[in-house]
Structure 1
């Protein structure tokens, strides 16, 4: 259950601390809760009923809907698709680090934050519209190029949070429906003559297929083993969180409101790159990078986030350029553990 606490820190300044476990709410739910808080406060201040409708669905109803809409043969078909889609994916992508990789990561981490300008966002959205794909597909393709430039590995796998909400009934549901899908960005010799635009379209098509065949990650890995895959990753260390369903820009009449996400000191993956569109498109994206402090320093994480944002802008600026031209440009990042950080 949510745990709110209201603190008065100055005569006319208050802080509402809201602790929410991820098991009971996802990013979509956070947007709903913030909007409801704003509506309730506004109505109470005006002395009028809030007028909020009852949610069309609760968590038990969502669980029943999932059971009813998944045929017994669905899982086998989904598993077979995932095994084909991920066949040949490498078991590891060796992104250079500040420190030698321990045998087992501790889970300790941190989060750095930044901004991608309104111009970058406009370029991403224009390219997506021109290609009849999504801004997510553009961001994922660019991240695949970025990871390949760092690691030299031409085939990268991204874990992507997926809202997993179908139909209008689940739109007002506060619950944890989000799941992870795996999106592949392949840049091997057969694809290097592709343009950035073609890579974005292909990446988007693969992502749509993965989202149409959602399964738990462990089940997908088992399907790959059952299909005789030579290499099966134990986990997916790199995440792209494109948070277009998360809106924290709330407005309350008579108040200046700022919403701050207090990230815990942990990392659920090695690197999680995040883009969150602002309500005002001119303000661009909020960006963040959650990273393992076993592997990277705070300064390096800032550099990684800034470098990815720069590459995203570059990717969109000349979408007709071959992908190999972007890969030929060496990253300027310097990582002490590997010397000068051009692992490509």
Structure 2
């Protein structure tokens, strides 16, 4: 199951209490204080790790609690610190405080980590309060409470290239043709219900990651269809390949479909709308594909590419241009 947004409760461990104790041994009638400190409570730490591709584990476990520290004991024995609780998430996960809607950390890269809830400090034993003027201290402190917070995990897939378009525009077919990814492909809308990633091999030493994003419809930025859930997955992409099919199943106008998707991008994020984009007419083996490419070029004032995932016509040209824009984007960083 693919899960890309979940809210969970995090509770760090409480610190162990300090101990108030006095040395009691034979032939030592005036043994001094020997109460040890309590151990620190465990913290909840979130780590981005390779190999984790979903937040499904978090969806099935909504409460995460670290262990408490061990209380101090007599004879100067200090309580053990509790182990930290590690939550492993995919790289690209955004951690947000649910109450204040503040971003705690953007775990973009492998190995990034953040202490999401800090464990309580261990209490002090009475041995800490011994002094020349207080030789029989009975004071000790209780362990501190661990942090308790509700957080939201949001996964934004990290892909170099994102495929956009209306449902059934040919995104999944393209991804399956140029990579080893095997997304579900069928002749009905919304076949793709979760983003799919594939590695496109340009040559022996060059490759990039391409993401197939579920089809967007009008009102996606407001939650219509699957768009709101998945628009954020293209926010990290460096290049967008916008597919426009010449003969939509719903008999809609292909040019209007292109402008609808562009409007959704602009409404969702101005930064996303400014990402370099390639316009490509898919299924160029169908009637009207050439005329559609010419019309889009005239309206947008940009070069429009045509290709067919079935026959392979124009596919290499689209991939070469995609990699050129990707290389320019990387060089600009």
TM-score, normalised via structure 2 length: 0.25
Task: Determine which structure has the larger strand proportion and give its number.
Answer: 2
Between structure 1 and structure 2, the one with the greater Rg is 2
TM-score, normalised via structure 1 length: 0.24
Q: Which has the higher contact order (CA 8 A, sep 6+)?
A: 1
